[in-house]
Amino acid sequence: MKTVTMKFGGTSVGSPEAIRNVIYITQREHTQGNRALLVVSAMSGVTDTLLSSTGMALKGDRWGY
């Protein structure tokens, strides 16, 4: 059994259809006898929101984030 590492970017998990595609790809690897190791980025737009929230929290803005 080999391990296959797959990285999916934000667009790859940005919609229900895209997530279903990731599941399909992962299941295909599994049925071929491979072990799948997934690296998944945040959904599109989430990283910017997290960075903004962190900045507000560091400035003491309890309600902005």
Residue ranges of domains in the chain: 3-58
- Is 42 in contact with 50 (CB distance < 8 Å)? yes
Write down the pLDDT at residue 37. Answer: 95
Q: Coil, strand or helix: which one is 9? A: coil
Identify the helix (H) or strand (E) that includes residue 8: strand 3-8
Task: For residues 6-14, give the mean pLDDT.
Answer: 89
CA atoms within 13 A on the CB side of 23: 6
Q: pTM score, two decimals?
A: 0.66
> Per residue in 16-59, pLDDT tens?
999 999 999 999 999 999 999 999 988 778 888 888 988 898 89
57 vs 42: CA distance, rounded Å: 20
Write down the pLDDT at residue 65. Answer: 59
Write down the pLDDT at residue 3. Answer: 96
